[in-house]
Copies of this chain bind each other. A is one copy, B any other.
Amino acid sequence: MALNSLWYCTRQACISLTRNFWLGVASAAMIAVSLIILGAFLLVAVNANQFMRIVESTVEINVFLEDDADVRDLQHRLAGLRGVEEIRFVPKQQGLQELKKAFGERHDLLSGFEGENNPLPDSFRVRAERAELVPTLAQQISFFPGVYKVRYGQEYVEALVKVTRWVNVVALGAVVLLGAGAVFLIVTTIRLSMVARQDEIGIMKYLGASNWYIRGPFVLEGMVVGLAGACAAVATLGAGYYYLVVVLERLPLLFFIQPVTDPNMLLSIFGGLLGLGLLMGGVGSLISVRKFLQV
């Protein structure tokens, strides 16, 4: 009996899909457009997030040492701190080299400071896991023995932390809004296409058809249409994104725009879109039919 019903639903859905081909295509296209917009934004958000993390990873704490500092001991202490990502020891010679590099063509200005005359201290460069940890870490490090001075781009870090938070809030908000918009579009589309069948549903009720008997084919049809739309959306997005990644790779100067290519992340986004299309198609039909079942 259950198998019989499933068979009935499938057959009815197939018949309806072929007989109302254009209505189905229109609905699927609506779903595809909604999901493309949503999906594109998801990709933007994921990339923005990764970009922020890359920027964060450039933030360094400069730890200048006293001349008599115990380098080994300090290294251990730094390594023991929570939230530290990387520690690099910079002897004063190297510090001078880096300063010269920063001076560029005018590095001859520093030529008097070579060797014994080097006024720079040795130092550690410490990278934090997240930019927001930097201020606390810097303060902790400043109390370690043998530390002469701790410096980091305070304003820069504070700005970065704020921007990161903002990007996250805005991205989340936008994804939620767009998601709600997509759901609304899909449900309204299905409901509109259902108005044309309102009479049909009423007639079935008067013939003694149970609610599930009426709903079944509609829901299945909705799921097929939703999945078709989602497939179209995923194909479009996938192709577009792939093209973008390839193009960006060809522009070596845009070093700081490294698109997300983690297959797990991409698969979960695209899979999520497929699921959303299927779900929306099914649930949307279910809700839309419900209204007309009150006979």
Q: B-contacting residues of A (Cβ < 8 Å)?
A: 23, 26, 29-30, 33-34, 36-37, 40, 105-106, 109-110, 113, 119-120, 149, 151, 155, 158-159, 162-163, 166, 174, 178, 181, 184-185, 188-189, 191-193, 195-196, 251, 253-255, 257
Q: Are B26 and A192 in contact (CB under 8 A)?
A: yes
Q: Are A253 and B159 in contact (CB under 8 A)?
A: yes
Cross-chain contact of A37 among B109, B162, B178, B257 (Cβ < 8 A): B178
| Contact residues in B for A178 (Cβ distance below 8 Å) | 37
| Contact residues in B for A106 (Cβ distance below 8 Å) | 119-120
By beta carbon, the residue of chain B nearest A151 is B105
When A and B form their complex, which 8 residue pairs have the shortest distance between CB atoms, in order from nearest?
A192-B192, A159-B253, A33-B181, A195-B196, A26-B188, A196-B196, A30-B188, A162-B253
- Complex CA gap A23/B291 in Å reads 14
Determine how many copies of this chain the complex contains: 2
- Complex CA gap A105/B33 in Å reads 56
Cross-chain contact of A253 among B29, B155, B189, B195 (Cβ < 8 A): B155
- Could you write out 13 A-B pairs with CB less than 8 Å apart? A23-B192, A29-B184, A29-B188, A30-B184, A33-B181, A34-B185, A105-B151, A106-B120, A158-B253, A159-B253, A162-B251, A188-B189, A193-B195
- Complex CA gap A40/B37 in Å reads 12
- Complex CA gap A29/B189 in Å reads 11
Cross-chain contact of A254 among B23, B29, B37, B162 (Cβ < 8 A): B162
| Contact residues in B for A34 (Cβ distance below 8 Å) | 185
A171 CB, nearest partner CB in chain B, Å: 12
Q: Are A30 and B185 in contact (CB under 8 A)?
A: yes
- Complex CA gap A263/B155 in Å reads 32
